[in-house]
């Protein structure tokens, strides 16, 4: 599933071709993805100018001059295609400007499209309970001290809780915990503040490196320009069960709540 770096990469790829452009036509090739499209989606977008693009957690945001924001989620296999030579059967949403055609391609249809008044984004159900963005100034060791206080749940589980921090997914949590030397099963409330400082820095380092690399290529994910992200080449533990860690000990794997957790039993305590 595309995670924060993949969505950030997508938003950055769309911005040069969409920002400042007026939407001339919207084509919906089906009535829904994971859930139905807004019934007036085409009417509200046609003729609107795109004023900005951004990201919240794992959602992409496209603001318009009509006071609406298009919110997209890429689901398991979604990606935007810029100026495809031909439209395919999985190009379910097509947006056309005077210069470009953008197609949301989603073979498994686990993605979503919503249109929300920009002024109401903070109270939109998927956003109102979200924690701070991990690349923002609000994501600090002090925040984690408060969020983890008296918690016996494993630190990995809490980092994946979107109410604690927004947008972190399995790959990047595994990598950040390894980089900070924290065992994924360690009770969150028992982690010293100095370690949490390291964890915050590690989360940022991993995410920024992944964004520079264009994300990780998992299944059908690709950037809007069609290029594949190559951060997978930089994984230290994720997906490397049995391979040697930098310390020489084999990387281990366990399954927690249906998710694979990769870690080094020597380096992470």
Q: Which residues are catalytic?
A: 2-3, 58, 259
The residues, any chain, with a CB within 8 Å of residue 114's CB and separated by 6 or more, are 38, 70, 71, 72, 124
Alpha-carbon Rg for the chain, nearest whole angstrom, is 20
Q: How big is the CA angle at 143 (ends 139 and 149), to the nearest 5 degrees?
A: 145
Q: Is the Cβ–Cβ distance between 268 and 184 less than 8 Å?
A: yes
Give dist(CA 129, CA 39) in Å, integer: 26
Q: Is the Cβ–Cβ distance between 48 and 114 less than 8 Å?
A: no
Here the tokens at position 84 are 């495809």
């Amino acid at each position: 599933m595309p995670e924060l770096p993949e969505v950030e990469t997508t938003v950055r790829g769309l911005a040069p071709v969409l920002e400042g452009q007026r939407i001339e036509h919207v084509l919906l090739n089906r009535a829904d993805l994971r859930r139905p499209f807004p019934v007036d989606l085409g009417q509200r977008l046609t003729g609107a100018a795109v004023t900005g693009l951004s990201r919240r957690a794992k959602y992409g945001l496209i603001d318009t001059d009509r006071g609406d924001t298009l919110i997209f989620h890429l689901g398991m296999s979604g990606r935007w295609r810029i100026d495809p030579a031909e439209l395919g059967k999985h190009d379910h949403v097509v947006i056309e400007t005077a210069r470009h055609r953008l197609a949301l391609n989603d073979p498994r249809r686990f993605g979503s499209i919503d249109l929300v008044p920009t002024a109401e984004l903070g109270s939109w159900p998927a956003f109102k309970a979200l924690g701070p963005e991990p690349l923002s100034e609000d994501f600090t060791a002090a925040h984690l001290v408060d969020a983890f206080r008296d918690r016996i749940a494993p630190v990995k589980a809490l980092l994946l809780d979107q109410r604690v921090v927004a947008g972190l997914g399995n790959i990047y949590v595994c990598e950040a915990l390894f980089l900070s030397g924290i065992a994924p099963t360690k009770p969150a409330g028992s982690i010293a503040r100095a370690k949490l400082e390291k964890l915050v820095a590690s989360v940022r380092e991993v995410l920024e490196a992944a964004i520079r690399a264009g994300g990780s290529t998992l299944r059908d994910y690709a950037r809007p320009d069609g290029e594949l992200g190559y951060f997978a080449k930089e994984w230290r533990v994720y997906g490397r069960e049995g391979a040697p860690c930098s310390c020489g000990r084999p990387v281990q794997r366990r399954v927690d709540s249906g998710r694979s957790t990769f870690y080094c039993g020597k380096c992470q305590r």
